[in-house]
Amino acid sequence: MRKRKRRQHRIVDEDLLQTIFAKESEWQNLRHIVDRSLDPLTEARDRLKLTEAVYMFLLKEAKHRKITVLRLD
CA distance 56 to 60: 6
Cβ proximity of 67 and 17 under 8 Å:
yes
All structural domains of the chain with their residue ranges: 2-72
pTM: 0.82
Phi, psi of 68, deg, nearest 5: -130, 155
Cβ proximity of 48 and 30 under 8 Å:
yes
Instruction: Please write the tens of the pLDDT for every residue from 1-56.
Output: 677 788 888 899 999 999 999 999 999 999 999 999 988 899 999 999 999 999 99
